[in-house]
Structure 1
Amino acid sequence: MPAISFDGLLVVSAIALAAPLLTATVPGLRRIPAVVVEILAGIAVGPSGFGWVRIDPAISVLALVGLAFLLFLAGLEIDPTRLRGPVLRSAGLGYLITLGLGLAVGFAAAGAGIVRSPLLVAVTLSATSLGLVVPVLKDSGHAGSDLGRLTIAGATVADFSAIVLLSLFFSTGGHSGAGGTLILLGLLALLAAAVAAFLARLGRSMGLEALLVRLQDTTAEIRVRFAVVLLIGFVTLAAHFGVETILGAFIAGAVLNLVDRDTMSHPNFRLKLEAIGYGFVIPVFFVSSGLRFDLRALLASPAALARVPLFLLAFLV
């Protein structure tokens, strides 16, 4: 077995610990999300900064799991009761307007020779992260307000749509084209619906529910293990289907949320999942994003550097 160093992972873990402490105690940082500090710290200690840490196998694997867990928890936040009627119409219309503006910016940038793919620019500008929006709203106490519910609904539509569009037009897992990818996405959706229906029917078994309750707070942590199997299962399916694996992680979270509606018998289940995600693997992903950021290449290219304020302005628009 080859020797694996954990030195880099130790630095990454220390950054993950320090980031929320700094944003909670330093007055000038209190309005900055901890993930921003994690990414910036990753840039500082990585190859673009002091060069103390580089991506190694330990960091790479945990970062990959962290990305999957982030999308899994994002899918877990999808509440079908919030995606109905006027809320769904407002969220959908808002996303279409944003995507349209993104396409306009993308084609304008392509015409000026700044970018090559207008659609990728549009998807990027219209995307959001439900996994980041929900924690911020929860921590601020606005998740249950009308504005909070509308924001979560909009983030849900944007997050899911962006993942589907990326899988449809930019997936590198297969060579079947957009039409073939669309068929594979449909098959993946049918499988997800079938799994959800099977699990919902299985969940009505009183004997199984009693067994789960008996094992859920022991070292078996049976519900957590089930969630992990569901996550890895859909990620594996997405990989075999040739679509983005993050879509599989997102669908796994949505399926679990759909079949796990009554949480009275296991109130700590989702807290345990969030503890694994936000307390362990997700910060590794954010710090590793900073480690992978090639700041020197950006600074060495005046043309690339000039695009930064343009894209920031496009995000604001």
Structure 2
Amino acid sequence: MESPANHAELLTATVLLDIALVLAVGTLVGRWVGRLRQPAVIGEVLAGVALGPSLLGLLPGNPTAWLFPAEARPFLSTVAQVGLALFMFLIGWEFDPARLRSHRGTAAAVSIGSIVVSFGLGVALATLLYHRHDAVGVDRVGFTEFALFLGVAMSITAFPVLARILAERGLTGTRVGSIALVSAAIDDVLAWCLLAVVTAIVTASGPLDLVRMLLLLGVFLTVLRVVVRPLLVVMTRRWATTYLLVTVVATVFLASYATTWIGLHAIFGAFCVGLVMPRQPAAELREQVCRPLEHVSMVLLPVFFIVTGLGVDIGGLTAANLLELAAIVLVACVGKLTGAIVPAVSLGMSWRDAGILGILVNTRGLTELVVLSVGLQLGVLDGQMFTMLVLMALVTTALAGPLIRSGRTPATRPGEPDTADAAMTDARTGGTA
């Protein structure tokens, strides 16, 4: 009979085997999709889906079940959450308010337009889908929670994936690329705020509990701004590399615990620490903190993909689900494209540039998967809806490269005046565009 000690050692070894398998398969598939000029995140997510019930689990003997046993999955989820917390910290840190000073008029209009239209269409779509996905297991999902969450899922733009696409396509220095980056940064902050509100509504047991959570969140944000940020400023100026890195990571984990205790998800705490993290001295912080965390996150995030992939079951989709999937993809694309193109054109951008901008802000990537994992953990999404939304994230992200190539280069190159923002300035000063 196997002893408890041996069982624990075998379980630990299984988790390590799983992580090794995830890294190997993720790297191989990531390199393959890279040859197709797709972001590596597409390959990593596909690797997670392939190792789950959608492919590997269909083979005789269900290899997914013995490679990723139920006992090992909580440990894999913990490892995934560590990588996710560090990733969310980096996302918050990448949001530089200084960026808002360039192209702020057009970027704000595009960001708000794309979020409002996408959110509204997502809520409208929820009225059609709710009756088929109103229960998760034995628990019933409220329409308000379902509709709000679907609206948030439609509103996401993946800032990291967008930045990578811009670099690969040589669009970083163009007006379109600059506006897209600023819009995506604004989108990220607004989307996380929306998700925080939805999470609070879902987890609150009543109006009084919701008020309690909002008050505690206010205290948490005040402590971050008044206490934590000044301490981090002092530490970045005086502390050695090792101590600074350890302190930042510890702060991220403490903040993640705090937001979890409040009733929100751990990612919100990590993201908020990234927002208050000092940006100067930029070169030293990037070398001492950012790059080490990027490397750790690069190793741990693939575990998040496999945890996500284990919840994706493409074979479980029915013919009706495929029609729903088509509607979800259509609404996701129409919401972002319309919400971005209309304000961009109305502010003076050419139709071609505005189209490229709409395609860029339609990328969802890893950011969408983070949102969907929160919905799954909260019990707002059933297995079929989760699978369809993951596929939507993959499709909208994969479309960006081919559509931009077909649209060729933007009409405006670096150094040319931003006619849209000029129009905004003229309007404010009483001039004519």
TM norm. shorter chain > 0.5: yes
Q: CA deviation at 1:75?
A: 0.8
Q: CA deviation at 1:85?
A: 6.7
Q: CA deviation at 1:232?
A: 0.6
Q: Which residue of 2 aligns with 1:175?
A: 205
Matches of 1:93 and 1:76, distance apart in 2: 23
Mind listing any 5+ residue stretches in structure 2 that lack a counterpart? Answer: 58-62, 132-142, 335-433
Q: Which residue of 2 aligns with 1:112?
A: 128
Matches of 1:262 and 1:140, distance apart in 2: 30
User: Do the aligned residues in 2 keep the contact of 1:48 with 1:296 (CA within 8 Å)?
Assistant: yes
Matched, 1:126 2:142: no
Matches of 1:84 and 1:182, distance apart in 2: 30
Matched, 1:158 2:187: yes
Mind listing any 5+ residue stretches in structure 1 that lack a counterpart? Answer: none
SS of structure 2 residue aligned to 1:83: helix
Q: Which residue of 1 aligns with 2:308?
A: 289
1:209-236 C-alpha deviation (Å, 9 max, x unpaired): 2x51xxx2xxxx3332122112112111
Q: Which residue of 2 aligns with 1:276?
A: 296
Matches of 2:218 and 2:113, distance apart in 1: 25
1:163-201 C-alpha deviation (Å, 9 max, x unpaired): 221221234554354544433332222122121133324
Matches of 2:217 and 2:158, distance apart in 1: 21
Q: Which of 251, 270, 292 lines up with 1:230 in the alignment?
A: 251
Matches of 1:255 and 1:305, distance apart in 2: 43
Higher relative contact order (CA 8 A, sep 6+): 1
Matches of 1:166 and 1:267, distance apart in 2: 28
Question: For residues 224 and 173 of structure 1, do their structure 2 counterparts lie closer, same or farther at Cα, with a shift above 3 Å needed?
Answer: farther
Matches of 2:225 and 2:330, distance apart in 1: 40
Q: Which residue of 1 aligns with 2:25?
A: 15
Matched to 2:295, the amino acid is A
Matches of 2:121 and 2:222, distance apart in 1: 35
Matches of 1:272 and 1:137, distance apart in 2: 24
User: Do the aligned residues in 2 keep the contact of 1:173 with 1:242 (CA within 8 Å)?
Assistant: yes
Question: For residues 180 and 46 of structure 1, do their structure 2 counterparts lie closer, same or farther at Cα, with a shift above 3 Å needed?
Answer: same
Q: Which of 22, 34, 41 lines up with 1:35 in the alignment?
A: 41
Deviates more, 1:46-55 or 1:169-178: 169-178
Matches of 2:126 and 2:292, distance apart in 1: 46
Matched, 1:94 2:107: no
Q: Which of 163, 177, 187 lines up with 1:148 in the alignment?
A: 177
SS of structure 1 residue aligned to 2:56: coil
Matches of 2:116 and 2:279, distance apart in 1: 36
Matched to 1:10, the amino acid is A
**TM-score (normalizing by structure 1):** 0.82
Question: For residues 266 and 168 of structure 1, do their structure 2 counterparts lie closer, same or farther at Cα, with a shift above 3 Å needed?
Answer: closer
Q: Which residue of 1 aligns with 2:222?
A: 190
Q: CA deviation at 1:290?
A: 1.6
Matched, 1:79 2:85: no
User: Do the aligned residues in 2 keep the contact of 1:168 with 1:181 (CA within 8 Å)?
Assistant: no
**TM-score (normalizing by structure 2):** 0.61
Matched to 1:191, the amino acid is V
User: Do the aligned residues in 1 keep the contact of 2:111 with 2:187 (CA within 8 Å)?
Assistant: yes
Q: Percent identity?
A: 26
Q: CA deviation at 1:155?
A: 1.5
Matches of 1:187 and 1:62, distance apart in 2: 29
Deviates more, 1:34-43 or 1:1-10: 1-10
SS of structure 1 residue aligned to 2:157: coil
User: Do the aligned residues in 2 keep the contact of 1:78 with 1:156 (CA within 8 Å)?
Assistant: yes
1:49-81 C-alpha deviation (Å, 9 max, x unpaired): 212333624422221122222211111101111
Matched to 1:277, the amino acid is S
Structure number, greater radius of gyration:
2
Q: CA deviation at 1:161?
A: 1.6
Matched to 2:245, the amino acid is V
Matched to 2:155, the amino acid is S
Question: For residues 196 and 110 of structure 1, do their structure 2 counterparts lie closer, same or farther at Cα, with a shift above 3 Å needed?
Answer: same
Question: For residues 128 and 103 of structure 1, do their structure 2 counterparts lie closer, same or farther at Cα, with a shift above 3 Å needed?
Answer: closer
Deviates more, 1:43-52 or 1:260-269: 260-269
Q: Which residue of 2 aligns with 1:311?
A: 328
User: Do the aligned residues in 2 keep the contact of 1:63 with 1:284 (CA within 8 Å)?
Assistant: yes
